[in-house]
Structure 1
Amino acid sequence: MNDAELAAHLAETAGRILLEVRASGVLTGKALGVAGDHTANQFLVHAIRSARPDDALLSEEMQCDGTRIGQSRVWIIDPVDGTREYGEARADWAVHVALAIDGVASVGAVALPGLGVVLRSDRPAPVPPAPPVLRMVVSRSRPAPEAVMVAERLGAELVPMGSAGAKAMAVVRGQADIYLHSGGQYEWDNAAPAAVAAAHGLHCSRIDGSPLVYNQADVYLPDLLIARPDHAATVLALLRG
């Protein structure tokens, strides 16, 4: 299978594994999140190394040994994006599988196992039209001050949601219009969501308008904007003040 098919297959399979771990009923809460992260990571790491042995790999749940630096192709994975939501048996968590090529998130799949959905960079669909009142997805617990400011200026409704992948895919699925984050993320938090969102014709960038660049020595990538293209310029202008 090609890279996009592999990413989607792995994300979907990891999601099924995570649902089975949760359905076992043996673990709950934080312990369930830890077990889910470990189990899904083991599967994804072994599967990628078997299917693409010449590619590099970066995972949230694996110590980076530095060998990926300078390589053209690197798989970037987050086995459970939204561990807390997964442990709470909510639906707003995700599995991220992305392939960055020369620093660009070129291929991606985001599984939303709680919804039975996998969004893929190779199967873009039209994003539904925006409603009269814009909707901005924000963190359930700590909405970014910049997002709150932009929402107030645009008269947008704030929609609290869990994981980064769930928030980004809400924009892809037409359930929200803007995802603005400035509270700190890492490459695995947004590589797959950015690849999928860009393939669906959405704007994806840092909040200063600069591009998202992956496979860096420092994997801290603290902010991003995913939005409908007709709203992105307005949001960026508001952020510049």
Structure 2
Amino acid sequence: MPARDLALLTEAARSAGAIALRYWRQAPKVWEKPGQGPVTEADLAVNDHLRGLLRGARPDYGWLSEEDADSPARLGQDRLFVLDPIDGTRAFIAGEETFAVSLAVVRQGQPMAGVVYLPALDRLYTASAGGVALKDGQPIRASGQLGIEGATLLTTAAAMAPEHWPGGVPDLKRSFRASLAYRLCLVAEGRHDGMLTLRDAWEWDIAAGALIAAVAGAQVTDRTGAVLEFNRPHPQAAGVIAAAPGLHGALLARLGHGG
């Protein structure tokens, strides 16, 4: 079943990306969603397309999308789609290339298949539980970084404030990308040694990328080191840390959560 779902998600991501590109750099209409930031007419068009395609193909699956009202009915379903039609909406609005379509199938709290597609770059990341993580069809692997010295980390400048690091702010090279899903995939392919967000993270932003990173060999937890679980009543995780196994524990220790 993960293989069939992965094939469906891949098809859906590519077709959704084509729709997003029709609006990209075309001054799409933009609204503000209270407490969640901007949304564009492209987000809604992509979401409508995905809802029709995915729910039409798997009518027995639950549904959790950033752009649809949540329903408690999903909690009683064995499998569900968890998706963000456009992750990195601010980057999309700015005409940048690093926005993504993030699609996952979750079963009993864990992602089974995940796809992150960057339409403007035609870059596709995929993974299924028990399978391999791929970028454009080629296997990828998280880095072998050991410890903090020389590490590269994707995170916001605000996350590096001293008050977050009782063990001392780590001295490393910081970078940033607007899309959480893309940040997780950059860790999966070893282009960066780790990523973290200390803010609570919506499940639709991280479900696909967390699976891809984990299958690629990264260690992926919430900000306290706990295992990520999906399809929660309130669909947010307590932050995310995804990093090379030799870096993950060192970051946790500096954050005050080391074992």
Give the match's secondary structure for 1:174: coil
Which structure 2 segments of 5+ residues have no match?
Answer: 33-37, 134-138
The corresponding residue for 2:28 is 27
Answering whether residue 151 of structure 2 is matched by residue 137 of structure 1, we say no
Which residues of 2 match residues 30-69 of structure 1 at below 5 A? 33-69=39-75
Alignment of 1:96-135 (within 5 A): 96-122=102-128, 123-124=132-133, 125-127=139-141, 129=143, 133-135=150-152
- Of residues 64, 75, 94, the one that matches 1:88 is 94
> Which range is displaced more, 2-11 or 55-64?
2-11
SS where residue 64 of structure 1 aligns?
coil
Question: Which residue number corresponds to residue 168 of structure 1?
Answer: 184
CA contact (8 A) 2:162 2:168 kept: no
Partner of 1:235: 251
The size of the alignment, in residue pairs, is 239
SS in 2 for 1:68: helix
Shift of 1:19: 0.9
Identity %: 25
TM-score by length of 1: 0.89
Q: 1:206 to 1:19 in 2, by over 3 A?
A: same
What stretches of structure 1 move > 3 A for 4+ residues in a row? 28-33, 128-132, 141-154
2:13 corresponds, among 7, 11, 14, to 11
C-alpha distance in 1 between matches for 2:154 and 2:94: 20
The structural deviation recorded for 1:102 is: 0.3
CA contact (8 A) 2:142 2:216 kept: no
Contact 2:27 2:93 in 1 (8 A): no
Kept after mapping to 2: 8 A contact 1:78/1:189? yes
Q: 1:66 to 1:233 in 2, by over 3 A?
A: same
| CA RMSD of superposed structures (Å) | 2.6
Q: Judging changes above 3 Å, is the alpha-carbon distance between structure 1 residues 45 and 96 closer, same or farther for their aligned structure 2 residues?
A: same
SS at match of 1:180: strand
Aligned partner letter, 1:72:
D
Q: Do the aligned residues in 1 keep the contact of 2:185 with 2:209 (CA within 8 Å)?
A: yes
For 2:194 and 2:39, the matched residues in 1 are separated by 28
Q: Decide which of 203, 207, 210 is 2:226's aligned counterpart.
A: 210
Match of 1:189 among 205, 211, 215: 205
One-letter amino acid matched to 2:181: G
Q: CA deviation at 1:117?
A: 0.5
- The structure-2 alpha-carbon separation of the partners of 1:128 and 1:216, relative to structure 1 and needing over 3 Å to count, comes to closer
Runs of 5+ in structure 1 lacking a partner? none
**Cα distance in 1, alignment partners of residues 12 and 166 from structure 2:** 36
What per-residue deviation string (whole Å, max 9, x for no partner) do you get for residues 66-100 of structure 1? Answer: 11012110110100111110011112211110011
Structure 1 residue matching 2:154: 3-state secondary structure: strand
Kept in 1, the 8 Å contact 2:83–2:104? The answer is yes
SS across alignment from 2:60: coil
TM-score (norm 2): 0.83
